[in-house]
Amino acid sequence: MSETISLSLGGSYVVAPDNPRKTKNRGRKCMILGFEINDEELDIRVIYLDTSREVLLKFSDLKPITE
């Protein structure tokens, strides 16, 4: 099943990969800093809100925060 997500610069999201084996960083909150195209794939530069560390994540690993 695919779902549509609107991603915006400065928006807050949670790391929640669809693959159950990807447990690293699952549940961490982040903010989008920018978008990059690497090897014809869209990567998203984010900053983790708990440590202020910048990383690149895959588009499909982010979900909007629902509270």
What CATH number does the domain containing 18 carry?
2.30.30
Rounded CA-CA distance 20/33 in Å is 26
DSSP H helices in 1-67:
none
- As for how many domains the chain has, the answer is 1
Could you tell me the pTM of the whole model?
0.81
* Of 30, 52, 34, residue with least CA distance to 42: 34
* pLDDT band at 67; cut points 50, 70, 90: low
Query: Does 50 map to a domain?
Result: yes
Is the pLDDT at 62 greater than 80, yes or no?
A: yes
Residue 32 falls inside a structural domain: yes
Answer yes or no: is pLDDT of 4 > 90: no
Weakest mean pLDDT among 7-11, 20-24, 33-37, 52-56: 7-11
What span, in angstroms and rounded, lies between the C-alpha atoms of 58 and 56?
A: 7
